[in-house]
Amino acid sequence: MKTGMMTVMAMVFVMGAQYCEATDQPPPIPSEEQPQVLTRGPVNEAFAEPVNLTNQTGLVAPTAPPARIDEVPPADRPVGDQFVWVPGYWAWDSDRSGYIWVSGCWRAAPPDMNWVPGYWAKAAGGWQWVAGFWTPVSNQEIEYLPAPPELTNVEPPGAAPPDRIWVPPCWYWSHGQYIRRPGYWIDAQADWVWSPAHYVWTPRGYVFVSGHWDYSLRRRGVLFAPVYFPGNIYARPGFSYPLSIVVDISDMELGLFTCPRYSHYYFGDYYDSVYIGVGIFPRFECERRHTWYDPIYMHDRWHHHRDDPQWGEHERREYDRRRADKSLRPPRTYHEMKDRVSRMPESQRRNFEIAEPMARVVTTKTTTYRFERIKSEDQHQMSRYSNDVHKFADERNHWESQGAGHNAGQPGLQRVPSPGPKDMTSPMERKGPAMNPYQHMESQSSERVHGNETSQRGHEGSTGFLDQQRSTKVAPYRDEWNQPDRVKVRTSPVVGKPSGGFWHKGPPSRPDEEKDDLRRR
């Protein structure tokens, strides 16, 4: 009897212990509360940026961005000293009326250039994005200028000569006035993309970004997928997020869009016409609207045109097909992608697998890069390096906000009023008829500067270049702008290695039309 009782009590004790052990462990977090890897969204601006041809302030979000994510890169990296790590940042997503995380990337930095990261700045009505930009390593200071005159007649004069790509005109600041550098044709290069000179708006003034050669898109590195973090899970003590899903660059080329006001490319499913209303355009629209220039599209068009003269029309037709038929559009999340691909025949999967695990990329060698394991001591440095990049962005925010309006105490430098912020209403909440995606602004035949109309229409001479006449000179908007507003800055942590070297062939020489002597006139 005692033996039986003791056996029963022992069983009760064991079961109770198992119950306690089981209930001590919380249930798994619901999938709705876990980070969601996206297969659509903004491309990290250090990886690729469209070029704005108009003077406009940055996109405005209604709320402040959350604290930055402590992201952990995978243990493998592409081989080559040209590759640098660029950490991620928050981006406003109008579909969710909230922020998503634009993941970091391994970037083949343009030779002899360093990256000045963008940031969110407090502004009237919300928080405003100030775009990042690449600048020569030799620059020890940043110049802030008045808004350049309106730039019109930026389209090419006709069909491109063989193996040439059009570069739009640009205003250059020289001795207290703006000088218009005419547009010109540049020799196309198979592995290099020419990013033309342009201006970036900041709260302190406009920054001139000099033209430079950059790697073709497929040679730029490893781009990690953006992530949506529901709730405030990123606010938990010690929270970090390991990056693991890579965007397929070759597939991204077809589904690439531009948002000029945000100075970002977007990829994935933005085929609905409603996105035109919030300023996200199919990339070929740059040929119709002429308010931005797309160096990647221009390079791709030249590259594909040699084998397919109708490539541009084929890309437009494919866009129309996906806009009309939602089943042809790519998946919006990595989870949706895996689910759809699992139910497809093998022959159809390639068109929808727009992202894959980094581990598979490394083992299957599906890219042109070779990969190497990051040393343990280097992995510990990654976090500190990312923090230094974020610190540099904060420093930029400080010196540009200090100079906004009063220019850090320099007398007489007054700001030219900028257009107000764009409506950030979610596209799905907008009413009214859908916009025609091919609607475009009319080209003007002349450009007005300070009430004086000066013709800028050039002619194509025997050299095949447009506007061979003398450069136009225009006085600044305000006479007080006789000296640029300068700020000395430290070198950014994100630095491109010198041109050439044993790891890669250097870029082509700078075009004669872009030499600095025009700035010194």
* pLDDT tens for each residue of 104-132: 999 999 999 999 999 999 998 899 999 99
Domain count, the chain: 1
Give me the amino acid identity at 120. W
**Residue 182 Cα distances to 143, 200, 299, angstroms:** 22, 19, 20
353 within 8 A of 341, measured Cβ to Cβ = yes
Output the pLDDT for position 228: 97
- Find the DSSP H helices in 306-449: 311-324, 334-342, 346-349, 358-364, 376-403
Q: Which helix (H) or strand (E) holds 64?
A: none
Classified as helix, coil or strand, 207 is: strand
**Could you tell me which of 261, 257, 264, 191 has the C-alpha nearest to residue 507?**
191
Cross-strand pairs, 472: 180
* Among candidate residues 349, 315, 345, the one with its CA nearest the CA of residue 330: 349
Q: Note whether residue 334 is domain-resident.
A: yes
Q: Are β-strands 241-242 and 71-72 bridged in parallel, bridged antiparallel, or unpaired?
A: parallel
Question: What residue numbers bound the domain in which 124 lies?
Answer: 39-441+477-518
* 200 falls within a domain: yes
Distance separating the N- and C-terminal Cα atoms of the chain: 109
Residue 10 lies in a domain: no
Element counts in the chain: helices (H) and strands (E) = 10, 37
Exposed/middle/buried for residue 217 (C-beta within 10 Å: 0-12, 13-18, 19+) = buried
* Sequence-separated (6 or more) residues with CB below 8 Å from residue 60: 123, 125, 126, 127, 128, 129, 421, 422, 424
Residue 194's Cβ-count burial label (10 Å; 0-12, 13-18, 19+) is buried
Q: Which two tokens stand for residue 442?
A: 């009319």
Q: Tell me, yes or no, whether 205 lies in a domain.
A: yes
Tell me if 322 is assigned to some domain: yes
Structure-derived torsion over alpha carbons of residues 403, 408, 413, 417, reported in degrees to the nearest 10:
20
Task: Establish if 470 belongs to a structural domain.
Answer: no
7 in any annotated domain = no
Q: How many CB atoms lie within 10 A of CB 377?
A: 7
Other CB atoms within a 10 A radius of the CB of residue 179 amount to 18
Any domain includes 497: yes
Tokens 């923090």 correspond to 387
Question: Which residue has tokens 């109008």?
Answer: 94
Q: What is the pLDDT of residue 204?
A: 95
Q: Which residues contact 61 (CB under 8 A, 6 or more apart)?
A: 92, 99, 120, 126, 127, 128, 129, 424
pLDDT tens for each residue of 391-401: 999 999 999 99
Model pTM score: 0.81
Tell me how far CA of residue 424 lies from CA of 30, 121, 261, 502, in angstroms: 30, 16, 12, 47
Q: Which of 170, 162, 250 is nearest to 209 (CA)?
A: 170
Q: Are 44 and 103 in contact (CB under 8 A)?
A: yes
pLDDT tens, N- to C-terminus, the chain (521 residues): 444 444 434 443 444 444 444 456 666 666 667 899 999 999 999 999 999 999 888 899 999 999 999 999 999 999 999 999 999 999 999 999 999 999 999 999 999 999 999 999 999 889 999 999 999 999 999 999 999 999 988 999 988 899 999 999 999 998 889 999 999 999 999 999 999 999 999 999 999 999 999 999 999 999 999 999 988 888 888 889 999 999 998 877 778 999 999 999 999 999 999 999 999 999 999 999 999 999 999 999 999 988 888 998 999 999 999 999 999 999 999 999 999 999 888 777 777 889 999 999 999 866 778 999 998 888 878 989 999 999 999 999 999 998 765 443 333 233 333 333 333 333 333 333 333 333 332 333 233 333 333 333 333 333 332 333 344 555 444 445 567 889 999 999 999 988 655 445 789 988 888 865 445 44
Closest CA to 300 of 105, 165, 158: 165
Beta strands in 5-82 (DSSP E): 36-37, 41-42, 51-52, 60-61, 71-72, 76-78
Q: Are 120 and 129 in contact (CB under 8 A)?
A: yes
